Structure formats: C-alpha cells, structure tokens
Structure 1
Amino acid sequence: MIHSICCIGAGYVGGPTMAVIADRCPQIQVTVVDLNARRISAWNDDDLSRLPIYEPGLAEVVGRCRGRNLHFSTEVEGAIASADLVFLSVNTPTKTKGAGAGQASDLRWIETSARQVAANASGHTIVVEKSTLPVRTAETVKTILAAGPAGKSFAVLSNPEFLAEGTAITDLENPDRVLIGGEDASAIEALASIYGHWVPAERILRTNIWSSELSKLTANAFLAQRISSINSIAALCEATGADVIEVGRAIGTDSRLGSKFLKAGPGFGGSCFQKDILNLVYLCGHYGLHEVARYWQQVVELNAWQKHRIASKVVASLFGTVTGKRLAILGFAFKADTNDTREAPAITICRDLLEEGAQLAIYDPKVDGEQIRQALGVPPSAGAPAPSDDGLWQLAADPLTAASGADAIVILTEWKTFSSLDWSALSAVMRQPAWVFDARRIADAGAARAAGLKVWQVGLG
C-alpha cells in the first residue's frame, strides 16, 4: 500500500496531478519537490491567485489539500527518502545541440532525477515516468537505478499524462483513461489502486511499458496532425468561398473521425505537440523509417506555415506595410484558460510583425509582461512609442487600451472574453480604416462590421 508520494517537478503536469491525487486520496502524503525555489514559494503562497500555474479549478483543489497532505518543497532528497512512490515529472524539451538536435528529446533532467532517486531512496520504491518520453526511456531509468547503492530495489512504470491545458483539472478528475505500463504486476496494481479512488476500473488501462511510452507520443502526433490538416483546409476555404467551420462540422459528424481538433486557428502550440512530433520524426529516422519521418515532419512544417501565413495576411491587408503602425494583439497564451506561452502561435506571429516594423500593444488576461519578454526575446518599449522603422511592443492593460490608435486588432487566443468585445467602443479609438484579424473565429464579426471595421476570419472565404 502506498503511504507517501514524492513528485519531482512542480510544473504544468506535476503540480495539478499531485494536487488532484492528494485531494482524492487524503490518506496519502503527497510532496511535490523542485529545485526552483521561486516556483515552490509561489505554490506555497497564501494568496491562491498567485499560484505559478493558472488552471480553472486548480486553486480550489490546492486550497483543500495544501498543509493537510499536499506539500511543496525544495527538500528533494528527504522527500525521495520517505516516499513509497516517486513520480518523475520534469521538463523534456527538444534538444538544441548535439545528436538529434531539433528533434530528439533532451533527457538530462530525467537522468538527473533518476540519479537522485537511486542515491536517496530507501527500501523498495516504485518509480513512475510521468513526463512525455521517447519509447525505451525506461531502459535508461532502470540502468541508472540499478547502478545505485546496494540494498535498494525499484520497479519502473510508465504513466503518461493526457492533459489539455485549460481543462487539466477536469481531465484529471474525469479522465478518458489512465494508462499504466510496466513489467512488475504488483507495482502496476499499487499505482492503479491510487487512481481507483476516483477513476472507474474500466478506464484504467494496463500495457507493457514500451506501449505506454509510445502511446503518449502517438496521441499527440495524431491530434497535432488534425490541427494542421484543418488549417490547410482553412486556407482552401478562404480561396474558394467555403467556410471551414461548416466543413469541420460536416466531417466531424463522421463517426470514423469525431468532432475534436477540427477548429481552424493560428496553429498548435504548447509544450507537447511540436516536441513530441519532432521526437517521433527522430525515432522514425533512427529506425530507418524515413518516409514515415517525412510525413510527420510535414505536420510540423505546415503548422509553421500557418503562423507565417497569418502574419503575412495582416501585412498584405494593411496596404503592404505595418512599419510604424500600431497593432493590438489580443491573446498571447497558446490557448485559452492557461498562462502557458510555450510554442504559442502568437510568438511567431508577433516576431514576424516586429520584423516588419510594427508597434504591438499586447494584451492577455493571464500572461504577464515578463513571460512575453522571454518569449519574444525583446524587452518592451519604455514610454510612448517614438516614430521608428523598428518593431517594438508594449504590454496593454485591457483590449481598449491596446486598440487605442491601432490600425488593426489581431486575435490570437480564444479567450471567452474576446467573443463579447464592445466593438463600437474599440472602433471609436482606432485609426481608420481599421481591421480585425480573427485567427480564432471567436469574434462577433457582424458587430465588428457594424462598428465600421473590416474583418478577416480564418477559414472563411
């Protein structure tokens, strides 16, 4: 029976997952550890609105459990030593140099975490891969654990997450499935018994460890492929007079396809899709499956094309130049209901517009200026923008401030509030003629046009 859990990594997966486990299993002590003291301090902040991760419902779950059986700490060694089960939930970004650079996953933090477990665990410990990993990574983890001090034993499991940012708490509390892969039957059942406190038995799937690892990469690859596919059709809709929403609805009723991931937009983002597809490309190439690798590589390339296409559409519509023009950017997170900006389409689109000399006023309800600065690699402009051919950006406090003096509004994240903007008020403060570029198909286009604005929406001819 599991009495104590340690999770290494207090990020987008580790924090919410452990909070829900603690909430549903009050008899288990759950400790989330991270060497980032600032992040741990934020998790422990008395003001739950200051948690480092924004997810609807997360603050309420943390509020119920923190201090009871949910703890956040930088004391990694002690938490490992007292744990019956250790989750590895650290970052696995795409490598930037060396063999496989640009495609393969960087596993340095998985290796570091495994070495910490090997050194500090006591007795028998179940080690669970929670991060998204290349297939056969468990072999590396097992090798590291086996090389540790004598007198310890380990069982290694794969338990990939299938969370969508913005709905992570709902996904955890009512999952489509929980996947557990491994070779040690007792360890599998120990982990299954934890999820069994709230997940129906038929939704807890057991596989071998390699199938579990590969299932996560495959799921993300399939979902990302659908986004790129519908975005390619969106461009055709614009050229032919068709409507991508109508096309998506028509094919979504096909029971062989389903209706999810058939909404056109500025492209997919987030920490998983691109990273996982690139890793899949790398693995296929490693095993000599070059045709398969080229197929999945094209999904990534089409996604990049979609982002550049939208930036080009803005420039072309504004008489071929945006140099010195103010553009209101509404939304910077990669999707609504999260403050995550990793691989956000807004980054590429904003960089393209800055390169063209645009003056961007960026507003997002949950993304702060420091995140935007890090993502764009450019500091914000101080004070009122001076006439210049160089692109610059500033943080705006609200949509009206962003739109003041702007030639266009560009909607890049599907925040619900953007569906009910006061277009009359916005139009009144903009420089005419003014445009709305709705890359999410969320705006009230009729109201915007009635306010005197020109409107472009993705996938609509």
Structure 2
Amino acid sequence: MVTRVGCIGAGYVGGPTCAVIALKCPDIRVTVCDMNPTRIGQWNSDKLPVFEPGLDEIVQKCRGVNLFFTTDVVATIQESEVLFISVNTPTKTYGHGKGRAANLKYVESVAREIAKVARGNKIVVEKSTVPVKSAQSIADILKANRNSQNKFQVLSNPEFLAEGTAIEDLLNPDRILIGGEDSPDGWKAIETLSSVYKRWIPADRIITMNTWSSELSKLVANAFLAQRISAINAVSAVCEATGADVGQVALAVGKDSRIGPRFLQASVGFGGSCFQKDILNLVYICESLNLPEVAEFWLNVSTFQDTDT
C-alpha cells in the first residue's frame, strides 16, 4: 500500500494533481517539490501560483496535514515510494528538431537526480507531456546511474487538464491512462499507481497499456481536438464564400451524435500552451519515423487553425 507520494515540479499540473490526491487519500503523505523557492512560497501562502476553481479550498484543507510543499529535492526523492515528474517540456529552440521536438532537458535532469540520491525501489511516473519512448529514455538514465541496490519502474501517466476545469477534470476524469513495461514488475507498478486512483475513480475509467501507447495517446488526443478546430475554421472560409452561416452549419453538424458539438466553434484558432506544441511534436515524431505523408497531414492541422489562413 502506498503511503508516500512525491512530485518534482510545482506547476499547473503537479500542484493541482497532488492536491487532489491528498484530498482523496488522507492516509497518504503527498509532497510537492520545486527548486524555485518563490513558487514554493506561493504554494505555502494564501495566494497560490495557480488559479483554478476549487483549488484554494483543497490546498487550505490539506496543506500541513498530508500535503506539503518544499524545495528539498533530495528528501522528496528519498522519502517517496511513487514519484511524479511534472516539469516543463518546451519545444526545442535549437539543434535537431528545432521548433517541433520537445526539449526533455528538465525531465532528464530530474531522472539523473533521482538516480543519484534515491534509496530503495521507486516507481517513477512521467506526468509531463513527452514524446513517444521518453519513458525508455528515463529508464535508461536511471539504469545507467543507479545504485546497484535500487530498482526503478517507469510509468507513463499523462494529464488531461483543461484551464478553468482542472479540479473537476481531476475529481471526475473521463479516463486515467497508465502505461508501463510489459513485465511482472511493470504490471505490479501499474497496479500500485492504479490503487491510488481507485480511491476515488471507478476502475473502468482506469485504462492500462504499454508505455508507448500511453505516451502517444496524450499527443493524439490533443491533435484530434485541434483537428476539429482547424476543420470548422476551414469550413468557415467556405461559408464566407457562399453566404452560409458557419454557426448554423456547426449547430447542424454537432447534432449528429457521432460528431457532437464540442470544439466546433469557428474562431481565431486554438490557443493555450498544449495544442500547437503537441501537434508539432507529433509532426516531428512522424518525420523521425519516415512517415512524411502523416507528418504533412498533422502539420496542415497546425497551419490551418486560423480562419484568416
């Protein structure tokens, strides 16, 4: 039974996720760690660095009871049985994959620190949005640098949070994805993490799979949502040329139960930090796998997101 959960990265994903785990699992000690003392200071104050409806109340209820925020990376790693990596994965601005591939330097830095200071066996969970096979990269780093007495299992557990509804998304998610190694130890680790989520999420919403499928599912989910926005914006151009009303067309199309009404509002394109980044990441993966036609398809989704395009 899990008694201690840690998270490296106190940003938009790590903080709320751990707050909800602490709320729903009062017997688990949850520690959120970040090397930025200003950010940790905010999490320990009355003005949190992240605004989400319902988050303040959860943090106030759990903070100092079974939810803690700290800059002590070593203690967080050593004390946690399950350790989330929830750091930023920006798009690369230099080198191979510039402008498209995800920069994993922060993820890899955390993996090296875990390997350096960990004591005992750990379940390391990639929570950041990462390219396919990133878990293998983390596992390779841990294996190359680990103490011979330590054992690690690396899981993929992508987040599906939307700004403004993150707490509801965590309390009542459509699904929880957990990917791991297809081995007895891998499935044991998957079941251990599943047991935490099962404290408040129905078992039929927890989907287990291999690591690569879990990693890719996050990118594809965002790509499909972005595709709908690009599609209705492309239709908007046709409407302007013919005198049709794109709002009425979207309403008619959205009434089809196979399609549904969500993400069919013509607009200036998709915003936020995820859709564009994840699509370009998917494009880069397709190019790396020598799938130029597939890469071009997803690149078109990215470039035709604006009605003015």
TM-score, reference length from structure 1: 0.65
Farther off after superposition, 85-94 or 146-155 = 146-155
Match of 1:153 among 142, 151, 154: 151
Contact 1:83–1:121 (CA<8 Å) still a contact in 2? no
CA distance in 1, matches of 2:90, 2:254: 32
CA distance in 2, matches of 1:111, 1:21: 25
Structure 2 counterpart of 1:58, one-letter code:
L
Question: Cα RMSD between the aligned structures?
Answer: 1.2
Structure 1 stretches of at least 4 aligned residues deviating more than 4 Å after TM superposition: none
In structure 1, the residue matched to 2:180 is 182
Farther off after superposition, 96-105 or 255-264 = 255-264
* Equivalent residue pairs, number: 304
Pairing 1:32-71 to 2, within 5 Å after superposition: 32-45=32-45, 47=46, 50-71=47-68
CA distance in 2, matches of 1:255, 1:276: 27
Pairing 1:390-405 to 2, within 5 Å after superposition: none
**C-alpha deviation, 1:270, in angstroms:** 1.5
In structure 1, the residue matched to 2:105 is 108
CA distance in 2, matches of 1:117, 1:237: 55
Pairing 1:214-253 to 2, within 5 Å after superposition: 214-253=216-255
CA distance in 1, matches of 2:66, 2:233: 45
Percent identity of equivalent pairs: 59
Tell which has more relative contact order, 1 or 2 (C-alpha 8 A, sep 6+): 2
CA distance in 2, matches of 1:247, 1:59: 40
CA deviations over 1:209-243 (Å, ceiling 9, x no partner)? 11101100110111111111112222333343322
Pairing 1:88-99 to 2, within 5 Å after superposition: 88-99=85-96
In structure 1, the residue matched to 2:170 is 172
In structure 1, the residue matched to 2:123 is 126
**Distance change (3 Å), C-alpha of 1:56 and 1:238:** farther
Q: What SS does structure 2 have at the residue aligned with 1:264?
A: coil
Pairing 1:134-145 to 2, within 5 Å after superposition: 134-145=131-142
**C-alpha deviation, 1:162, in angstroms:** 1.0
**C-alpha deviation, 1:43, in angstroms:** 0.8
Contact 1:88–1:129 (CA<8 Å) still a contact in 2? yes
In structure 2, the residue matched to 1:452 is none
CA deviations over 1:44-103 (Å, ceiling 9, x no partner)? 11x2xx211111111111111111111111111111110001001110111011000001
Farther off after superposition, 1-10 or 257-266 = 257-266
CA distance in 2, matches of 1:62, 1:247: 44
Contact 1:87–1:129 (CA<8 Å) still a contact in 2? yes
Structure 2, gaps ≥5 residues long: none
Contact 1:3–1:84 (CA<8 Å) still a contact in 2? yes
TM-score, reference length from structure 2: 0.96
CA distance in 2, matches of 1:117, 1:142: 11
When Rg is computed on C-alpha atoms for both structures, the one with the higher figure is 1
Pairing 1:389-428 to 2, within 5 Å after superposition: none
In structure 2, the residue matched to 1:204 is 206
CA distance in 1, matches of 2:303, 2:175: 30
Q: What SS does structure 1 have at the residue aligned with 2:304?
A: helix
In structure 1, the residue matched to 2:281 is 279
Pairing 1:416-455 to 2, within 5 Å after superposition: none
Q: What SS does structure 2 have at the residue aligned with 1:31?
A: strand
Match of 2:298 among 281, 296, 299: 296
Q: What SS does structure 2 have at the residue aligned with 1:179?
A: strand
Structure 2 counterpart of 1:152, one-letter code:
N
